[in-house]
Amino acid sequence: MKKIIILILLMSCNHAISDDTLKSERELIKSERTSLAIGWRDNLGYKLPKSGSYELYKIRKSGNGDVIKENGEADNLHNLMNNKITLLSFIYSNCNDTNGCPLATSVFYKIQEKLKNNKKILSKLKMISLSFDPAFDTPEIMSLYGKGLSYIDADWDFLTTESYNKLSPILANYDQPVIRKYKDDGTYDGVESHLLRVYLIDDKKFIRNVYNVDFLHPDLLINDIKTLLLSNE
């Protein structure tokens, strides 16, 4: 039987993970996977407030870190955000959880579809999909993963990191948990599961919203993006 190790990467946590914490994280992940997420629906199901009629407060400064682009060039997250409003998701190419990475990728794709005739907004938006699994997701793999997804004038990067040691502090900065699998001999065996989170980051690199599976819908994200843009005018 394979051993399963969970790495809960919290900004203020450096001690060993307790059995209770492990159980809690597994139950939370399981609860998010029990039904088809709202993001798969065309209709959000409720009326959104008018863009600009509400405020998105600064949660905290977004994390930075060294990453590798699809072409193999090294860069860092903050530089790639390029003073744009940014949507950041953590994914991995082997993910087969319907309400996990495929959902985040689908929502990003729908956002660029919905904004394809609004060049003004699209030009001020950055989307980043960063891999959880640098051992498998090489720049070449991420390039293949993103092939055909990003088009028109959408600015969408598919990134990885040099190693898990490079990825770990980025995940910690975003409080992003991930469960990894290890074989009996201790060798890494891929990602088992993770909590789906998408981060809305403003042009000053502050996190302004965090969406989980219950609120990840393109219409809601676009409404928040428009609200941030209106607050800059």
In a domain, 26, yes or no: yes
14 within some domain: yes
pLDDT of 14 over the 60 cut: no
**Which residues neighbour 152 within 8 Å (Cβ) at sequence distance 6 or greater?**
112, 116, 122
* CATH number, position 116: 3.40.30.10
Contacts of 130 (CB under 8 A, 6+ apart): 67, 77, 88, 89, 90, 91, 159, 160, 161, 170
What percentage of the chain exceeds 90 in pLDDT?
61
Beta bridge partners of 131: 91
Residue 232 to residues 57, 124, 187: CA-CA distances in angstroms?
A: 13, 12, 49
Q: Structural domain tally of the chain?
A: 1
pLDDT for residue 9: 38
In a domain, 50, yes or no: no
pLDDT at residue 148 tops 90: no
Tokens of 81: 């955000």
Res. 161: pLDDT tops 90: yes
Domain annotation covers residue 47: no
For residue 230, report the phi and psi dihedrals to the nearest 5 degrees.
-65, -35
Q: Helices 218-231 & 101-114, crossing angle to 10 degrees?
A: 60
> Residue 177 — very low, low, confident or very high, per pLDDT cuts 50/70/90?
confident
Q: Would you say residue 49 lies in a domain?
A: no
| Domain housing 211 | 3-42+55-231
Contact status, residue 26 vs residue 179, Cβ threshold 8 Å: yes
Q: Identify whether 81 is part of a domain.
A: yes
Q: Which two tokens stand for residue 184?
A: 């009996």
For residue 39, is pLDDT > 80?
yes
In-domain check, residue 48: no
| DSSP one-letter string for 119-145 | HHHHTTEEEEEEES-TTT--HHHHHHH
Dump pLDDT digits (tens) for 101-144. Answer: 999 999 999 999 999 999 999 999 999 999 988 999 999 999 99
Q: What pLDDT does residue 55 have?
A: 96
pLDDT of residue 224: 98
pLDDT score for 233: 75
**Please, what is the average pLDDT of the chain?**
85
Q: Could you tell me which of 102, 96, 152, 153 has the C-alpha nearest to residue 129? A: 102
